[in-house]
Amino acid sequence: MAAAVRVLLIDDEPDFLETLAYWLRRKGHAVEHATGGAAGLELLARGPAPDVVFLDIVMPQVDGLETLRRLRQSCAELPVILLSTSDQDPAALGRFRQLGIIDVFSKEQDLERLAAILDRALAGRRPRPDAD
């Protein structure tokens, strides 16, 4: 049996984090979450690296764009899926796309759409050494 997919959620909304973490765990994934960009970067630095990151755009202190810039310094190939609201600025999304995000999931969308994005993000990944 393959090892569970390791997911890191970075968002400043605890209720949303808990809901998404619960849903992902029910799908069989191993989930860690961080409330904010700085906390997410700390988890990444401690390792091991997750298989995919869900990253909120708008957060206080260290926002999503700065978090992604720092993440890319050490994890250039790590799949990142943005979490947004439906009213995101297209220019801002363009800056994220330049840093290699997989896709954007609007928090107002159905979670089955999130499952499709996650499947696409994981489609090309190499198995971890601890996978069976």
pLDDT at 36: 93
Q: For 76, left (φ over 0), alpha (ψ -120 to 50), or beta? A: alpha
pLDDT at 75: 85
Tell whether the model's pLDDT for residue 97 goes beyond 90: no
Residue 56 has, within 13 A of its CA and on its CB side, a CA count of 25
**What are the boundaries of each domain within the chain?**
11-122
pLDDT at 96: 78
* CATH number of the domain located at residue range(s) 11-122 in this protein: 3.40.50.2300
Q: Which of 99, 93, 37 is nearest to 69 (CA)?
A: 99
The per-residue pLDDT for range 32-89, each reduced to its tens digit, is: 999 999 999 999 999 888 999 999 988 889 998 899 999 999 888 899 998 887 666 6
Give the pTM: 0.85
DSSP string, 50-110: PSEEEEES--SSS-HHHHHHHHHHH-TT--EEEEE-TT--HHHHHHHHHTT--EEEETTS-
pLDDT at 113: 86
Tell whether the model's pLDDT for residue 128 goes beyond 60: no
**Lowest pLDDT segment from 49-58, 88-97, 116-125:** 88-97
